[in-house]
């Protein structure tokens, strides 16, 4: 079966930017995120061995989510200028390396990734999502796994790993996040309800819907009152954290197939950025290809 690797672009660009604090081209332009991103992609390829690959970028915030919660992701600082200057360069690298890349205005990367994963998982391909974003745990199941960069084992997460991390099944992750909230996305949860309490409630009641139908069965008065006072917020949170897998994503699997990088396009980029080791690799690869043609 084919294996599709879907990479959360901005997440890895930030990760690369902070992993390498100072690296500049001969012209003085920052290149730390570019170099780190390229190396991370290579490491993921070696770990996953994909037959198909795509990098998905954030195109802005979902209008529906901002309408539901104006504070949604509002606390996030602007992208550092030195990183912002490198994003287009990374996209240029992906084009030269023949790696598919996608970004659409007002479409969050998480939603498009969910659409791709849901479309291709199962009969068409095994899907691996590369991201540390906990929202993706709701997608894990037959045909869909996670490559979490925070997990040093570099194993692909399945249902068992999600269960160990959260205490709930992947099908309950939306409800779990709705109760707990998400500080990264500025989504407030139920006061006094942390990950363990939320997991205990979902193991007892199965879902948020059943929990609120049987609220009188919650033994703790404090917890019951907190849940009752947060009814609207929890319902809103469910809509905020549920990924929109029904978006239109008309790309075919064949368009995402791994193909050899274009050495003639990569070499000038590596030379301009001052990536001597990568330039040596691509030039050696090109010489091997030329010799193979002659033979």
| Residue 284, pLDDT score | 86
pLDDT higher than 70, residue 293: no
Looking at every residue in the chain, the average pLDDT score rounds to 94
Query: Do 99 and 54 form a contact (C-beta atoms < 8 A)?
Result: yes
* 124: DSSP letter: T
- Spatial CB neighbours of 43, under 8 Å, sequence gap ≥ 6: none
Q: Which of 119, 135, 112, 142 is nearest to 244 (CA)?
A: 112
In the predicted structure, residue 287 carries a pLDDT above the cut 90: no
φ, ψ at 190 (rounded to 5°): -75, 125
For residue range 35-74, list pLDDT tens digits in order: 999 999 999 999 999 999 999 999 999 999 999 999 999 9
User: What secondary structure letter does DSSP report for 30?
Assistant: B
Between CA 111 and CA 244, with CA 77 as vertex, the angle to 5 degrees is 10
**Residues 199-202: contacts with CB under 8 Å, at least 24 apart:** 199/166, 199/167, 199/168, 200/167, 202/167, 202/168, 202/172, 202/175, 202/176
**Domain 170-241 class, CATH top level:** mainly alpha
Binned at pLDDT 50, 70 and 90, residue 225 comes out as very high
Domain spans in the chain, listed from the N-terminal domain onward: 2-161+244-278, 170-241
How does pLDDT run across 246-262, given as a tens digit for each residue?
Answer: 998 889 999 999 999 99
Which pLDDT tens digit goes with each residue over 171-220? 999 999 999 999 999 999 999 999 999 999 999 999 999 999 999 999 99
- Short-list 23, 1, 233, CA closest to 120: 1
Going by pLDDT thresholds of 50, 70 and 90, the confidence category of residue 10 is: very high
- Rg of the chain over Cα atoms, rounded to whole angstroms, equals 22
pLDDT of residue 294 exceeding 70, the answer is no
The CATH code belonging to domain 2-161+244-278 is 3.40.50.1010
- Quote the percentage of the chain above a pLDDT of 70: 98
Tokens 């009152």 belong to residue: 225
Which DSSP symbol is given to 121? B
Largest CA distance in the chain: 80
HSE, side-chain direction, 13 A CA sphere, residue 209: 2
pLDDT in tens, 145-175: 999 999 888 899 999 999 999 999 999 999 9
């Amino acid at each position: 079966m084919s294996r599709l690797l879907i990479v959360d672009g901005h997440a890895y660009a930030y990760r690369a930017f902070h992993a390498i604090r100072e690296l500049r081209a001969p012209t003085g332009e920052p290149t730390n995120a570019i170099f780190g991103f390229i190396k991370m992609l290579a490491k993921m390829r070696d770990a996953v061995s994909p037959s198909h690959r795509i990098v998905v970028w954030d195109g802005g915030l979902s209008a529906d989510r901002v309408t539901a919660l104006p504070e949604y992701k509002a606390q996030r600082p602007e992208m550092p200028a030195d990183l912002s200057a490198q994003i287009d360069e990374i996209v240029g690298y992906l084009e030269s390396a023949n790696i598919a890349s996608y970004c659409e205005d007002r479409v969050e990367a998480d939603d498009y990734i969910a659409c791709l994963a849901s479309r291709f998982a199962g009969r068409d391909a095994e899907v691996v999502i590369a991201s540390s974003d906990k929202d993706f745990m709701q997608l894990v199941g037959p045909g869909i796994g996670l490559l979490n960069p925070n997990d040093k084992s570099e194993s692909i997460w399945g249902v068992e790993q999600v269960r160990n991390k959260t205490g709930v099944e992947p099908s309950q992750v939306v409800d779990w996040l709705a109760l707990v909230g998400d500080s990264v996305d500025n989504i407030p949860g139920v006061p006094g309800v942390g990950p363990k309490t939320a997991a205990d409630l979902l193991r007892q009641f199965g879902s948020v819907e059943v929990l609120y139908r049987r609220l009188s069965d919650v033994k703790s008065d404090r917890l019951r009152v907190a849940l009752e006072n947060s009814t609207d917020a929890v319902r809103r949170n469910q809509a905020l954290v549920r990924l929109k897998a029904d978006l239109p994503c008309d790309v075919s699997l064949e368009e995402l197939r791994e193909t050899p990088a274009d050495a003639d396009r990569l070499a000038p980029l590596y030379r301009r950025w001052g990536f001597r080791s990568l330039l040596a690799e691509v030039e050696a690869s090109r010489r091997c290809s030329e010799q193979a043609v002659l033979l």
